[in-house]
């Protein structure tokens, strides 16, 4: 069975919960996207930019000293941090900007949390000569001032969002309000496998290059499939990008690592899959953090890119059918992960990706015998240095 179904559902998750003004546009986008997905020229153009501009394929790097540290894990890092702009986000923005151009849209808007998606969007807009406006929570602007400056350098306008929690979810609300208003000329470039259909499937497809490459690279190096995949989950685009290609490889365990913030019982976390419940946020039915009255709760994570009270519907589906397992690590554990990778491999990971690294510690204690693992190193830590400096 191919998912999502015609209505954009992965099991009971997904769908299109948006104001009527956006419905015709989403229908058009769905039609355009599905036809482009089959179009050889579009595929060629997308692959050209991934290779020549973003720097694909990324290495699948055997982390020898990190593996030695754990003894029972053979760890490979999928080096998305080496891509242009420093994270996997560029895979998706290149794909969507090409779709936007085919649809004749002249103005691009996006939301951003950590700023990585904002930078990746501003980058492709500069590349294609399109007008770009990025919504960003004012709290995130403070946490990620370097990325704000980057977006400005790239010619984008960063619009501070002061409503609600002043983070990613509110930036997304504000972007949707803009979209509803300027629907005729504006393309909303969503940064994760979230939002209304067809965004979750479109973003997943553009990010699937991670898993496609990793699978082939691992086969070439090891002559077999890995035992496990580990990736952090906020909205869930790097993890879905890695996981999706392994869906039918039943022997491969998929582990998504959510942000436990100050701890799962602290009420200050972003563990939507572990601790959330089914609901509707930003256009799709998925696991969300909500109060007893169905109001959206404010998420917390030290990693701005994981600080989101929802998660892509396909992850909710993977969890519901037990295809993937979702775990969590705290802010402090993530910082330990960051230090560990920096000191053992000379690679400073983004705070988001540090969650995946940190989980290896727990995994190592859990597994029997020696296991091989691919970890998605979704981004580099340069953007986080000032945040980390304040804490460590």
Partner 1 sequence: MKNRIENKFQELKKNKAKAFIAFITAGFPNLSATEKLIYALDSAGADIIELGVPFSDPLADGPTIQSASYLALKNGTNLKKIFEVVKKARAKTEVPIALMTYYNPVFHYGEELFIRDCVKCGVDGVIIPDLPPEEATTLISLARKNNIATVFFVSPTTSVKRMRFAAQKATGFIYYVSTTGVTGERRNLAKNIFDNVRKIKQLTHKPVCVGFGISNSSQAKEILKVADGVIVGSAIIKKIAENKTCPNLNEKVKKFVFTFKKEIK
Residue numbers at the binding site for partner 1 (CB under 8 A): 7, 15-25, 163-164, 169-170, 173, 176-177, 180-184, 277, 279-283, 288, 290, 293-296
CB nearer to partner 1: pick between 52 and 293 = 293
SS3 345: helix
What tokens does 333 get?
Answer: 């554990």
CB nearer to partner 1: pick between 182 and 342 = 182
Question: Residue 346, exposed/middle/buried by CB under 10 A (0-12, 13-18, 19+)?
Answer: exposed
Shortest distance, position 6 Cβ to partner 1, whole Å: 11
Query: Is 89 among the catalytic positions?
Result: yes
CB nearer to partner 1: pick between 67 and 192 = 192
Shortest distance, position 200 Cβ to partner 1, whole Å: 15
Shortest distance, position 286 Cβ to partner 1, whole Å: 11
Q: Which whole-number Å values give the CA distances from 205 to 30, 230, 249, in the listed order?
A: 13, 19, 18
Shortest distance, position 111 Cβ to partner 1, whole Å: 12
Considering just the CA atoms, what is the radius of gyration of the chain in Å?
19
CB nearer to partner 1: pick between 72 and 182 = 182
Query: Residue 377 pairs with which residues in a beta bridge?
Result: 79
Shortest distance, position 287 Cβ to partner 1, whole Å: 12
What tokens does 351 get?
Answer: 């705070």
Q: Which whole-number Å values give the CA distances from 16 to 125, 168, 207, in the listed order?
A: 27, 20, 21
User: Which residue out of 80, 111, 333, 345 is catalytically annotated?
Assistant: 111
Q: Is residue 339 a contact partner of residue 392, using CB atoms and an 8 Å limit?
A: yes
Shortest distance, position 237 Cβ to partner 1, whole Å: 21
Q: How far is 118 from 381, CA to CA, in rounded Å? A: 16
CB nearer to partner 1: pick between 140 and 170 = 170
Measured from the Cβ of residue 222, the count of other Cβ atoms closer than 10 Å reads: 14
Q: Is residue 130 a contact partner of residue 95, using CB atoms and an 8 Å limit?
A: no
Query: Is 157 among the catalytic positions?
Result: no
Q: Give, for 173, the enclosing helix (H) or strand (E).
A: helix 168-181
User: Which residue out of 16, 78, 89, 166 is catalytically annotated?
Assistant: 89
Shortest distance, position 27 Cβ to partner 1, whole Å: 8
Shortest distance, position 280 Cβ to partner 1, whole Å: 5
CB nearer to partner 1: pick between 177 and 224 = 177
Let me know the angle formed at the C-alpha of 260 by 258 and 264, rounded to the nearest 5 degrees.
125
SS3 183: coil
Q: How far is 302 from 328, CA to CA, in rounded Å? A: 13
CB nearer to partner 1: pick between 197 and 371 = 197
CB nearer to partner 1: pick between 64 and 294 = 294
Angle between helical axes of 89-102 and 199-207 (0-180°, round to 10): 120
Q: How far is 196 from 19, CA to CA, in rounded Å? A: 11
φ and ψ at 341, to 5 degrees?
-70, -40
- Chain CA centroid to CA 170, Å: 17
Query: Is 111 among the catalytic positions?
Result: yes
Q: Is residue 223 a contact partner of residue 81, using CB atoms and an 8 Å limit?
A: no
SS3 269: coil
Residue with tokens 């053979």: 74
Question: Which residues are designated catalytic?
Answer: 89, 111, 378
């Amino acid at each position: 069975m191919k998912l999502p179904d015609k209505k954009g559902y992965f099991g009971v998750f997904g769908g299109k919960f948006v104001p009527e003004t956006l419905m015709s546009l989403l229908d058009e986008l769905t039609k355009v996207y599905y036809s482009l997905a089959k179009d050889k020229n579009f595929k060629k153009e997308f692959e050209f930019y991934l290779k020549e501009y973003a720097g694909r394929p990324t290495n699948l790097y055997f982390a020898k000293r990190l593996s030695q540290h754990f003894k029972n894990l053979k760890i490979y890092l999928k080096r998305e941090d080496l891509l242009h702009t420093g994270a996997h986000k560029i895979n998706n923005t290149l794909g969507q900007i090409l779709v936007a151009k085919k649809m004749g849209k002249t103005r691009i808007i996006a939301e951003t949390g950590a700023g990585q998606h904002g930078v990746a969007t501003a980058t492709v807009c500069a590349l294609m000569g399109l007008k770009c406006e990025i919504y960003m929570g004012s709290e995130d602007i403070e946490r990620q001032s370097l990325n704000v400056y980057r977006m400005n350098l790239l010619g984008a306008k960063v619009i501070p969002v002061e409503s609600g929690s002043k983070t990613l979810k509110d930036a997304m609300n504000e972007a949707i309000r803009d979209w509803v208003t300027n629907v005729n000329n504006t393309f909303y470039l969503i940064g994760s496998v979230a939002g209304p259909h067809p965004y979750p499937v479109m973003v997943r497809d553009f990010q699937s290059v991670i898993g496609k490459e990793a699978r082939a690279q691992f086969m070439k190096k090891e002559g077999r499939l890995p035992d496990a995949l580990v990736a952090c989950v906020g909205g869930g685009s790097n993890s879905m990008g890695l996981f999706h290609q392994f869906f039918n490889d039943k022997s491969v365990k998929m582990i998504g690592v959510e942000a436990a913030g100050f701890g799962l019982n602290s009420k200050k976390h972003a563990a939507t899959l572990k601790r959330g419940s089914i609901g509707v946020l930003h256009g799709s039915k998925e696991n969300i953090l909500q109060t007893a009255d169905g109001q959206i709760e404010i998420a917390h994570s030290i990693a701005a890119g994981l600080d989101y009270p929802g998660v892509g519907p396909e992850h909710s589906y993977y969890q519901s059918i037990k295809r993937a397992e979702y775990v969590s690590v705290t802010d402090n554990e993530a910082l330990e992960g960051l230090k560990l990778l920096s000191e053992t491999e000379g690679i400073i990971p983004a705070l988001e990706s540090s969650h995946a690294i940190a989980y290896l510690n727990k995994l190592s204690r859990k597994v029997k015998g020696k296991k091989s693992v691919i970890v998605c190193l979704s981004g580099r830590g340069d953007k986080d240095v000032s945040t980390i400096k304040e804490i460590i």
